[in-house]
Amino acid sequence: MLDGLIISIDAMGGDESPDIVIKGIEYFLTHEGEGRRARFLLHGDAELLAPLLDTAPRTRERSEVFHTDKTVSMEDKPSQALRKGKGSSMWNSVAAVKGGRAGVVVSAGNTGAFMAMSKLQLRAKQGVQRPALAASWPNMSGKMTVVLDVGANVECDAAQLTEFAILGEAYFRAIYGEERPSVGLLNVGTEEGKGNAVVKIAHERLSQSQLGLNYKGFVEGYDISQGNVDVVVTDGFTGNVALKTAEGTAKLVDSLVKTALLGNIWSKFTSALNSIALRRLRKGLDPRRVNGAVFLGLNGIAVKSHGGTDAIGFSNALNIAIGLAETDFQGALDERLNALHDEDDNIGFIT
Amino acid sequence: MLDGLIISIDAMGGDESPDIVIKGIEYFLTHEGEGRRARFLLHGDAELLAPLLDTAPRTRERSEVFHTDKTVSMEDKPSQALRKGKGSSMWNSVAAVKGGRAGVVVSAGNTGAFMAMSKLQLRAKQGVQRPALAASWPNMSGKMTVVLDVGANVECDAAQLTEFAILGEAYFRAIYGEERPSVGLLNVGTEEGKGNAVVKIAHERLSQSQLGLNYKGFVEGYDISQGNVDVVVTDGFTGNVALKTAEGTAKLVDSLVKTALLGNIWSKFTSALNSIALRRLRKGLDPRRVNGAVFLGLNGIAVKSHGGTDAIGFSNALNIAIGLAETDFQGALDERLNALHDEDDNIGFIT
């Protein structure tokens, strides 16, 4: 019988599963989660998992394996995964949350399939039209900016953007402990009257609200990396493009730095010293640090680790999962959503 | 009487005009445009321009001043600018292109006002529903990626995206001399079936085309900085957010590099060497290098320099302006647009 925080794991999800998954849990238990009472339900191929658990004693002690030899591949379309993926490690890992056997599920598998299975099994919370995927991005202040939606909904209306503001704010508070996270609405300019119809209506709705939201109005793409607000709200199309553009730009600059520092004869002498500096730089931009997108607005918490991550990255996704499971994230969110929709009714907000 | 390439200049546009504008032209004539027969029509306050021209002999020799004391401020809304900005330096600089007295207009002033005035006076080309703003972004291959639209149209349909592909391709060819620039459509994933309705229809239309377009299908935000295609087509909302996100990320990484290289005691010794390397890095990312967004699809060429640029940045905007004026950009574009719309008629494309 497991007690404490129980985390359901899709042990077969990701490019190098189940290897990275088990190493990630072991890393977490060794470096991050020692004092935390987390336990794990491992869904996957028992035969593959057994030898890995032999090399990961902390994980073995705190885990229970639930065998299935069915997996969802990284190439499956969400519709295919739903059709033929029942009983797979991914499906079962979500089912454990639905059945109340775990508080949160973590998968490094196929994002579309994971979202589809989570949505189908866990269902959207009452008061949430569309769950949203929230990701964290490092910013100038050394903290993180949460951006949502980053890909769950490629078309959104104003009421959905308003809900995303509530979801993102509650998430930021739970994870980073900020009492009143600031929220901005992504637009092409900060002046009133800028943008398309959807953001204009959402802006009006959020500005009118008496919920005590720390709403800062419109922000621009530039503000994501500057950290001018804690939470950036946008539709899943724009958010996905913004996040991937930021990733591409960070990689470009990283490559230019390398070229610049190694490109002249003098810098050859200093490259050992530079490499220390560059290691520190890369730590600041480490994709593992920002690993773990959360699917918000479901009856249950679903955390998506990057498919190509390593053990440290997977461990960070566990950190986020446990951070949410440890707080009363879902209860606090319900309260906020109810208050929002009471207000909707009072002001007659329909989009 | 002026001959050769005639460029109409809004001498009062930008944060530090007319100073930067005159210095920019002088820089261009000294370093970039010596052999080019460019001449300039300077629209602005003659009293302010006279002492500046005294210190810029090359510019004075090749310019004619058209006095107006009316200016458009950086804060004016486009509608205000249209209402009260007739006869301003910006208005008159566009009017010179409309009247055939210049081939191209360059302004570092208020972007919204400049687009509105250009659109009103120059009008969209036949076969163009909506002109688009195209910007260049440095990429991994050391070349530039052209992204459009980056802010002229916050809502776009599939037919407009298709036209943007033609506009962007013709622009890339004219400026960078590439015979068959590759074109990608910005989306949240590269697989068929991804994205919203608009990009799906535009993708189908572009895939069907027999125009010989080098269309590569969907690309993601990541691909902009990687340079995987030459031209990235998107709506003005997404494009604006993407470009500003990229700018913010580049600034973040630049700041992290500085901190990393100066943050430890050893690197103090190497900072002189590093500063050489960093200068080279900054050159690669120099915003002045990418200065000059072009408003494409009008009967006339309008180039928007960044409002906060310096002389070198303004000079680069002139480079783009002259690059377009020197080729038969507009004629070639008309041909492509006609071919596109003939094909539209043949396949019965309506959105």
Residues of chain A contacting residue B251, judged by C-beta atoms under 8 Å apart: 140, 222, 225-226
Q: How many residues does chain A have?
A: 351
In a domain, B347, yes or no: no
Q: Same domain for A178 and A267? A: yes
Q: Same domain for B60 and B149? A: no
Q: Kindly report the nearest CA distance between residue A33 and chain B, in angstroms.
A: 29
In a domain, B339, yes or no: no
Chain A to chain B, count of Cβ pairs less than 8 Å apart? 197
Q: How confident is the model at residue A327 (pLDDT cuts 50, 70, 90)?
A: confident
In a domain, A345, yes or no: no
- Asked whether the beta carbons of residue B188 and residue A154 sit closer than 8 angstroms, the reply is yes
pLDDT of the residue at A287: 57
pLDDT of the residue at B220: 96
Q: Which of A152, A134, A153, A154 is nearest to A144 (CA)?
A: A134
- Answer whether B275's CB lies under 8 Å from B101's CB: no
Question: Averaged over A157-173, what is the pLDDT?
Answer: 96
Residues 6+ apart with CB under 8 A from B121: B91, B94, B95, B97, B98
Tell me which chain A residue has its CA closest to the CA of residue B200: A154
Residue B114 is which amino acid?
A: F
pLDDT of the residue at A277: 58
The residue among A309 and B263 whose pLDDT is bigger is: A309
Q: Same domain for A112 and A135? A: no
Q: Same domain for B232 and B84? A: no
Q: Which of A24, A34, A17 is nearest to A56 (CA)?
A: A24
Q: Which of B185, B245, B283, B286 is the best mutation test for A, with the most CBs of A within 10 A?
A: B245
Instruction: Give the pLDDT confidence of A193-242 residue by residue, as tens digits.
Output: 889 999 999 999 999 999 999 999 999 999 999 999 999 999 999 999 99
Q: Same domain for A60 and A175? A: no
Q: Same domain for A25 and A58? A: yes
- Give the residue numbers spanning the domain of A45: 1-127+297-310
Q: Same domain for B106 and B140? A: no
Question: Averaged over A53-71, what is the pLDDT?
Answer: 96
Number of independent structural domains in chain B: 2
In a domain, A331, yes or no: no
Q: Which of A95, A240, A154, A317 is nearest to B219 (CA)?
A: A240
**Cα distance between residue A207 and residue B265, in whole Å:** 49
- Asked whether the beta carbons of residue B188 and residue A220 sit closer than 8 angstroms, the reply is no
The residue among A247 and A217 whose pLDDT is bigger is: A217
Q: What is the DSSP letter of B29?
A: I
Q: Which of A129, A133, A194 is nearest to A341 (CA)?
A: A129
pLDDT of the residue at A3: 47
pLDDT of the residue at A351: 62
Q: How confident is the model at residue A267 (pLDDT cuts 50, 70, 90)?
A: low
- Answer whether B158's CB lies under 8 Å from B179's CB: no
pLDDT of the residue at B1: 34
Question: Averaged over A143-170, what is the pLDDT?
Answer: 95
**Is residue A260 predicted with pLDDT exceeding 80?**
no
Q: Same domain for A282 and A271? A: yes
- Asked whether the beta carbons of residue B238 and residue A236 sit closer than 8 angstroms, the reply is no
Share of chain A above pLDDT 90, in %: 72
Q: Which of A147, A241, A271, A286 is the best mutation test for B, with the most CBs of B within 10 A?
A: A241
Residue A314 is which amino acid?
A: F
Question: Averaged over A29-39, what is the pLDDT?
Answer: 83
pLDDT of the residue at A53: 97
CA dihedral B23, B25, B30, B36 (to 10 degrees): 180
**Is residue A2 predicted with pLDDT exceeding 50?**
no
b/e per residue, A241-259, with b = 16+ CB within 10 A? bbbbbbbbbbbbbbebbee
Q: Same domain for A141 and A256? A: yes
Q: What is the DSSP letter of B125?
A: P
In a domain, B99, yes or no: yes
**Cα distance between residue B145 and residue B137, in whole Å:** 5
Q: How confident is the model at residue A278 (pLDDT cuts 50, 70, 90)?
A: low
Mean pLDDT score of chain B, rounded to an integer? 89
pLDDT of the residue at B169: 96
**Cα distance between residue B236 and residue B268, in whole Å:** 44
Residue A277 is which amino acid?
A: A
Query: What is the model's pTM?
Result: 0.90
In a domain, A99, yes or no: yes
Q: Same domain for B120 and B134? A: no
Evaluated on CA atoms A32, A37, A38, A39, the torsion sign reads positive
Give the SS3 label for residue B231.
strand
pLDDT of the residue at A256: 77
pLDDT of the residue at B271: 54
Structure tokens at B130: 């909506």
- Answer whether B222's CB lies under 8 Å from A248's CB: yes
- Answer whether A214's CB lies under 8 Å from A182's CB: yes
* CATH number, residue A94: 3.40.718.10
- Answer whether A346's CB lies under 8 Å from A196's CB: no
What kind and span of H or E run contains A7?
Answer: strand A6-10
Q: Of B290, B311, B343, at which residue does a domain stop?
A: B290
* Helix pair angle (B197-208, B158-176), 10° resolution: 60
In a domain, A115, yes or no: yes
**Cα distance between residue B152 and residue B148, in whole Å:** 9
Q: Kindly report the nearest CA distance between residue B63 and chain A, in angstroms.
A: 35
pLDDT of the residue at B276: 57
Q: Same domain for A168 and A236? A: yes
Give the SS3 label for residue B216.
strand
pLDDT of the residue at A272: 53
In a domain, A336, yes or no: no
- Answer whether A307's CB lies under 8 Å from A13's CB: yes
Q: Same domain for A92 and A229? A: no
Q: Of B242, B269, B290, at which residue does a domain stop?
A: B290
Segments of chain B scoring below 50 in pLDDT? 1-3, 265
Instruction: Give the pLDDT confidence of A121-154 residue by residue, as tens digits.
Output: 999 999 899 999 999 998 988 889 999 999 999 9
Q: Which of B107, B216, B204, B111 is nearest to A191 (CA)?
A: B111
**Is residue A343 predicted with pLDDT exceeding 50?**
yes
Tell me which chain A residue has its CA closest to the CA of residue B218: A241
- Phi first, then psi: what are they for B64, rounded to 5°? -130, 135
Residues of chain A contacting residue B222, judged by C-beta atoms under 8 Å apart: 244-245, 247-248, 251
- Asked whether the beta carbons of residue B273 and residue A256 sit closer than 8 angstroms, the reply is no
